[in-house]
Amino acid sequence: MECCCEQVRRDHHRNFGSKGATTEADRLKEIKQLAVRKKNRAVNRVNLGVMKQDRGEPVRKFAGRVRSLAAVNEYAVKCATCKVDVPYMEEVIIDQIIKGLANKEIQTDVLSLNETDVMTLDKLLVFVEGKESGQASQGMMAGGTATGNAADQVKKCGY
């Protein structure tokens, strides 16, 4: 109890009295019950489902944002036969990355691949990075910049 802030100590005393739990594990459960606010998993899953890649954001950075939110959602199902939790988080991450890609041409290219159904997350990221790099290079060859914005393009002499 000495490690808790004053507010948590007061709340613990109000809710559990001076006796409370006798073991450290039980005491930690009581403190967790007071101090941790649970967020409904459905809220996080909905937020994950609407994530989109920002314009100019590299796919690895977008994948990191998706992965961090997916990690708290506990994507796993219990096997009916062996009763072991079977995770499916990587599949959810892959699906959301494909769905949230900012560039629709790259999204079309990914969806048109035959091996998309069996593609690993790393292979997907390498493929999309290659496409993003190719588009940036193409924009630079056309006389623009990697972003392709008209304001960023080099002005040419009219004479």
Quote the pLDDT of residue 145. 54
Q: Output the pLDDT for position 39.
A: 72
Quote the CA–CA distance of 92 and 84 in Å, as a whole number: 19
Beta-strand relationship, 85-87 and 76-78: antiparallel
pLDDT tens profile 74-102: 888 888 889 898 989 999 999 999 999 99
Residue 5 structure tokens: 């802030």
Q: Indicate left, alpha or beta for 98 from its phi (over 0: left) and psi (-120 to 50: alpha).
A: alpha
pLDDT in tens, the chain (159 residues): 778 888 888 888 888 877 666 788 888 888 888 887 777 788 889 999 999 999 989 999 999 999 999 988 888 888 888 989 898 999 999 999 999 999 999 999 999 998 888 889 999 999 999 999 988 888 888 876 555 444 444 566 666
Res 127: pLDDT: 94
The pLDDT value given to residue 34: 82
CB-CB contact of 75 with 89 (8 Å): yes
Q: With 0.85 as the threshold, say if the pTM is over it.
A: no
